[in-house]
Amino acid sequence: MKHLNKIFLILFCLLLASCTGTRHLPKGEKLYTGAEIKLESADQVNKRLIKTAIAEAVRPVRNKVYFGNRPKLWLYNLAGEEPKTKLGKWLKKIGEPPVLMSNVKPGVTSEIIDARLFNLGIFKSFTESKTVEKKHSVHVIYTSHLHKPYVVKDLIYSISDDSLSCLILAEKDKSLIKAGEDYNLDLLKSERIRIDAFLKNKGYFYFNPDYLLFKADTSNVNRDVAFSLTLKDSIPEDALTVYRINKVYVNQNYWLNERRTRTTEDTVMVQDIVFLGKEARMAIKPKVLAKSIYLRKNEVFSRQNHIITLNRLMSLGNFKLVQISFTENNTSDTGLLDVNILMTPMPKRTFRAEIDMVTKSNNYAGPRMNLSLLNRNTFGGAELLNLSMAGSFEAQLRGKGENLYSYSWNPQLELTFPRFILPFNIAKTNSIYLPKTSLSLSYNYQKRVNYFDMRTFRFVYGYKWKENIRKEHELNPIEVSYTSVGNKSAVFTDLLEANPFLKKSYEEQFIAGGTYSFTYNEQMIPGKKLQSYFHLKSEIAGTAFSLAKRIGGEKISSANPSKVAGSVYSQFAKLSVDGRGYYNFRDKNRLAVRIFAGVAKPFGNSLVLPYTRQFFSGGPNSLRGFQINSVGPGTFYQDTGKRGLLQLGGDVKLETNAEYRFGIYRYFKGALFVDAGNVWLLKSNPANTGSPFMFSEFMNQIAVGAGFGLRVDVSFFVLRFDLAMPLRKPWLEDNHRWVTNQINFGSSAWRNDNLVLNVAIGYPF
């Protein structure tokens, strides 16, 4: 084995040596290996900002380098000049042609760099270039001679139109141009766009950012710039006219191939909005649509109201396409706009059938099927009714224990209303997002052969709303579930008797309470280098019942638990936070980091948490180097081969994950990752299932795993394969928990015991 490893290492080094890509260059050419940027300045400047601007101006981009080598260039050369085989053509396609020095024009690049620096207020920069040649390669050194950027002295508004001048001056405190800050051309462009957006909301329908001019007066002595904001000399009259809404027409049965003609026949007037067609044939009631239309007769045109209307109508989920067009009405006064809202409906009912194969890291696999029927307009108010039936079967394909299997079926009804349904009225908001009220009723039957039958009824009533593109809230004031466990086998009964903690968690399965969650997500914001994500979820259950019992004079305690309708109800509080950061590199690779922390505490009527509310660790979206739900609590070792489908959870969970994601070829992506974490109980367990959580000890009880991932990412669908192994096992004795010295890929026994393949849909976080 040692000789084999040495041979592999020698071959690997030879391969790396051949990946430099300098052996097949055209005669007389050298490989361009990139540029070095140097800054020379007598003044103190923001070198990081300037180097970033220069790096974006440097052209061309060198061949991609990985660990000092150029594998894509090597593949390109390996294919040959004119490959004839399919393999050769494929290698040529995924490879990368050499970037030669003949393609580099240092003089032109220097001029582009100076132009970029000029945009940053460095008006008198000078960039020189120098080529440094080696035997087969060459790189360029760009040296920029700088001075301190010019700063903004002041901004004077010289708007010739009095109405525009008053509006713009009223908003000058929001200006992006601040006295004392460095000159920046991009800020000037952004300021024009900001003012234009503001004026669009004040009725200036035909205004354009190009109508605004910044005139600059520079002082070489003080190195500052005084700006004067003016209007262009020749502006169309309609750009200075405030427009109002005249008539609003709505056609909710519009098709792209029909002509945009209106008729006065068969129309319905609701809140000054004209709905085309007979009300009896309209899919959605006009009064419902009117609540999402913010463009109203006689009101000043507002781009914001235009966007709100468009987004709210699309959010109903009943239309493929919503178009809003504006036409001038010249029949009477000037400055009037007719609004045409054209909506192409989706089919009222949609049936969907899905079937897939599920594999888990604990060696269980099987088919899963989901049938659903969606009605998009149940009661004529754009209500979405979803009836679904899901079923699954999974069996243990291999393992140390007996051959186990389970199956389940889960009918569910979910009804969503595109508005808040409350016993009181709330003020109308200007959010572009539609608030929603939803209720769901479900039943889940699960058969775990040789263990038990489990039946769960669940009802949820709640609300969802978004403040903006980043912030989303979900409040479920009513969330009730009842779980009964029957047909218990002797094996399952023995497991419960051996662990009072586990037994108690299966007994108290009547949960009545509420949940609230808040999500902050920046991932949908394009161009942001560092994106963040934060999710908070809280849940409290049983307090209403306990309060009513206490008012009635009944004492509440876990030793003598109270009942509702003959069932012991659970009482607990639970809180979890999930924070993530995504750093996006220039080459579209990404570093993702996640930290999760959760704690739940039973109290009053409960001694332990219900099994369904406990925290678990291990699996495809957790610690991928360990089998699903197999880590913890604490130093406890869960032999999944013996326990089968039954695992223990905890009251506390801490977990962190780091993953570097990179592209391989087109929609094939790769990842290198490390996961660490565990779950703990809050207090000791008579069954000796790990020590309780202690701040002084928890770091020594962390499980660590690492691995490599392959993903097939086609935007709307991600199939993920993560191969991982444990690096630290907390159930081992102190000073023996790190197991990196035991890694032996050549041993089949080690591979069977340690390598875990996770197959899942979507990214883990």
Would you say residue 261 has pLDDT above 70? no
Instruction: State the average pLDDT over residues 617-641.
Output: 86
pLDDT at 1: 45
Buried b (16+ CB within 10 A) or exposed e, 169-197: eeeeeebbbeeeebbbeebbeebbebbbe
Would you say residue 280 has pLDDT above 70? no
pLDDT tens profile 57-77: 998 989 888 777 888 888 888
**Alpha helices (H) along 349-449:** none
pLDDT at 194: 95
All CATH 3.10.20.310 domain ranges of the chain, comma separated, are 151-240, 244-345
Structure tokens at 693: 């959580």
Candidate from 60-69, 334-343, 568-577 with smallest mean pLDDT: 60-69
Structure tokens at 226: 């005084």
Cα torsion through 103, 106, 108, 110, rounded to 10:
150
Give the confidence band of 20 by pLDDT, cuts at 50, 70, 90: low
CA dist 621 and 580 (Å) reads 14
Q: Please provide the DSSP assignment of 580-641 as one string.
A: EEEEEPTTS-EEEEEEEEEEEEE-TT-SS--GGGSB---STTS-TTS-TT-B-STT-B--HH
Would you say residue 598 has pLDDT above 90? yes
Instruction: State the average pLDDT over residues 78-82.
Output: 83
Give the confidence band of 16 by pLDDT, cuts at 50, 70, 90: very low
Candidate from 169-183, 513-527, 633-647, 751-765 with smallest mean pLDDT: 633-647
Structure tokens at 727: 């690096």
CA dist 251 and 274 (Å) reads 9
SS3 content of the chain, % helix, strand, coil (to 5): 20, 40, 40
Angle, helices 71-79 vs 86-94, to 10°: value is 150
619 vs 716, higher pLDDT: 619
Instruction: State the average pLDDT over residues 442-460.
Output: 90
**For tokens 């039957």, what's the residue?**
445
Residues making up the chain, counted from first to last = 765
When mean pLDDT is compared over 201-205, 424-428, 609-613, the highest value belongs to 201-205
Q: What kind of architecture, by CATH, is found in domain 151-240?
A: Roll (3.10)
- What residue type is assigned to position 311 of the chain? N
Instruction: State the average pLDDT over residues 609-638.
Output: 89
**For tokens 């699903």, what's the residue?**
628
Query: What contacts 127, CB < 8 A, 6 or more positions away?
Result: 110, 111, 113, 114, 117, 142, 143, 144, 145
pLDDT at 9: 43
Give the confidence band of 82 by pLDDT, cuts at 50, 70, 90: confident
All CATH 2.40.160.50 domain ranges of the chain, comma separated, are 614-765
**For residues 647 and 638, is the Cβ–Cβ distance under 8 A?**
yes
When mean pLDDT is compared over 273-277, 524-528, 559-563, 638-642, the highest value belongs to 273-277
Structure tokens at 357: 């194969």
406 vs 652, higher pLDDT: 652
pLDDT at 39: 93
**For residues 370 and 356, is the Cβ–Cβ distance under 8 A?**
no
Domain 244-345 has CATH 3.40.220.10: no
404 vs 717, higher pLDDT: 717
19 vs 492, higher pLDDT: 492
pLDDT at 3: 46
CA dist 9 and 7 (Å) reads 5
Instruction: State the average pLDDT over residues 402-415.
Output: 85
15 vs 751, higher pLDDT: 751
Candidate from 114-128, 241-255, 494-508, 601-615 with smallest mean pLDDT: 494-508
Percent of the chain with pLDDT over 90: 53
User: For 614-765, CATH number?
Assistant: 2.40.160.50
**For residues 633 and 680, is the Cβ–Cβ distance under 8 A?**
yes
Instruction: State the average pLDDT over residues 359-381.
Output: 81
For 190, what's the count of Cα atoms within 13 Å in the CB-facing half-sphere?
10
527 vs 177, higher pLDDT: 177
Would you say residue 659 has pLDDT above 90? yes
Query: What contacts 57, CB < 8 A, 6 or more positions away?
Result: 109, 112, 113, 115, 116
Would you say residue 13 has pLDDT above 60? no
Give the confidence band of 489 by pLDDT, cuts at 50, 70, 90: confident
Give the confidence band of 201 by pLDDT, cuts at 50, 70, 90: very high
Give the confidence band of 214 by pLDDT, cuts at 50, 70, 90: very high
Would you say residue 177 has pLDDT above 80? yes
